[in-house]
Amino acid sequence: MTRILGIESSCDETALAVVEDGPRVAVNLVASQIDIHAEFGGVVPEIASRQHMRVISQLTQSAVESADGQIDAVAVTNGPGLMGSLLVGVNFAKALAYSWRVPLVPVHHIEGHIYSAFLNDGGPPAFPALALIVSGGHTQLIQCDAPHEYRILGSTRDDAVGESFDKVARLLELSYPGGPSIQRCAEDGDPEAIRFPRAFEKTDTLEFSYSGLKTAVLYELRKNPDRSRNDVAASFQNAAVDILLIKTKLALRQTNAPRLIVAGGVAANSLLRKRLESEIDVPLLLPTLEYCGDNAAMIAAAGHSRLERNLVGGLNTTPNSGLAL
């Protein structure tokens, strides 16, 4: 059995996990900083790195103790993300790998999200695949030809889809993070009440843009201040999800990919999951809700696959806040 310790600290979650033989999660611990950043309406980088420092030792000890056995490698997110936050995780991982004399495996955060679809009952990693990554910092369609071979087919030109949920939630005076609060508010609203724009809807591009949608919500609220908040939330969510479906179907037609992976924080959205399940006709790989947001099990799972191929790092590994996939 191969047991990998995963460490994720790229943004506002300090996460530690142990996975066995790739996908089986033995321990998964996430210390979220959401409550600490909530009063600022977004993540404050300096506060985030200090908080990682505060909790990482204790979390590591808990993870290793509950896994109860030898750790064979340490996998860590080395980018992209907030530099101060990444530095905490990477340096901690280097110290552990050095003292335990085990390999250090640097993992790209988005590769981690891709591997979240294969955890536990998700089945063994299966490629080729098309991946739709929808999170707070990314909106990307990625062609995955083979393990660790990626081609980015389209990205957002401005805001990420999760970021647009967060910004629109602020306009609607809903709590942070915006995704879950907009989803809740939308349950009592009419998704057809307002026709918000879907960027690049009628073109062949696989690019996304979400800043126009956010601005359209702002103008709608200025023009009709008495408009039902539930209708605005439902109509926004409808437009935000609709364009994801439109572009994903286009990418599936263009690539003939035999399976679709959808991952990242926004993959927890119930409307998105429902529409994917009913409208996509290739096998769909969706992480369970607990592995949509940032976690270290996904980093350890990607690390396991890298370790099998000897794609390991050394003690000269450094974090890179703008790391390319």
Ligand X SMILES: Nc1ncnc2c1ncn2[C@@H]1O[C@H](COP(=O)(O)OP(=O)(O)OP(=O)(O)O)[C@@H](O)[C@H]1O
- Return the number of the residue (135 or 156) whose C-beta is nearest Mg ion: 135
CB of 21 to ligand X, least distance (A): 25
Nearer to ligand X, 45 or 254 (CB): 45
- Asked if 165 interacts with ligand X (CB under 6 A), we say yes
Closer of 99 and 278 to ligand X (Cβ): 278
Sign of dihedral through CA atoms 152, 154, 157, 160? negative
Identify the CA nearest to 87 among candidates 260, 317, 300, 313. 317
CB of residue 244 vs ligand X: minimum separation in angstroms?
11
What are the CB-based long-range contacts (under 8 Å, 24+) for 150-157?
150/111, 150/325, 152/325, 153/206, 153/251, 153/254, 153/255, 154/205, 154/206, 154/207, 154/208, 154/247, 154/251, 155/207, 155/208, 156/207, 156/208, 156/209, 156/210, 157/207, 157/208, 157/209
Q: Phi first, then psi: what are they for 175, rounded to 5°?
A: -75, 160
What does the binding site for Mg ion look like in residue numbers (CB under 5 A)? 135, 294
Which span (121-129, 194-202, 265-273, 306-314) binds ligand X, by CB under 6 A?
Answer: 265-273
Residue 166 touches which of ligand X, Mg ion, none (Cβ within 5-8 Å per kind): ligand X
Using CB under 6 A, pick the residue from 180, 190, 254, 320 that binds ligand X. Answer: 180
Minimum distance of ligand X from residue 27's CB (angstroms): 20
Is 6 near ligand X (CB under 6 A)?
no
Distance CA(119)–CA(76), nearest Å, equals 17
Work out how close the CB of 196 gets to ligand X at its nearest, in angstroms, rounded to a whole number.
15
Amino acid (1-letter code) at residue 206: L
Backbone angles phi and psi of 28, in degrees to 5 = -140, 110
The smaller minimum CB distance to ligand X, of residues 162 and 303, is found at 162
State yes or no: residue 41 binds ligand X (CB under 6 A).
no
Return the CA Rg of the chain: 20
Burial 207-216 (b: 16+ CB within 10 A, else e): bbbbebbbeb
Q: State which residue, 10 or 103, has the beta carbon closest to ligand X.
A: 10
Tell me how far, at minimum, the Cβ of 15 lies from ligand X, in Å: 10
Number of chain residues interacting with ligand X (CB under 6 A):
23
Residue with smaller CB distance to ligand X, 166 or 220: 166
Tell me the window of 62-70, 163-171, 249-257, 297-305 that interacts with ligand X (CB under 6 A).
163-171
- The partner in contact with residue 180, picked from ligand X, Mg ion, none with C-beta cut-offs of 5 to 8 angstroms by kind, is ligand X
Residue showing the smallest CB distance to Mg ion in the complex: 294
**Given the complex with ligand X, which of 11 and 132 has the nearer CB atom?**
11
Find out whether 173 and 215 touch, Cβ atoms under 8 Å.
no
What residue ranges in 102-257 does DSSP mark as E strands? 104-108, 129-134, 139-146, 149-155
Question: What x/- string results for residues 121 through 150 when contact with ligand X is judged by CB under 6 A?
Answer: --------------xxxx------------
Distance CA 196, CA 217 (A): 8
Residue 5 in contact with residue 17, Cβ under 8 Å?
Answer: yes
Edge-to-edge strands, sheet with 24-32:
24-32, 13-20, 3-8, 73-79, 104-108
Please report whether residue 269 would count as binding ligand X according to CB under 6 A: yes
Q: Which is nearer to Mg ion, 13 or 231 (CB)?
A: 13
Name the residues that contact ligand X, by CB under 6 A: 11, 81, 109, 135-138, 162-163, 165-166, 177-180, 183, 264-266, 268-269, 293-294
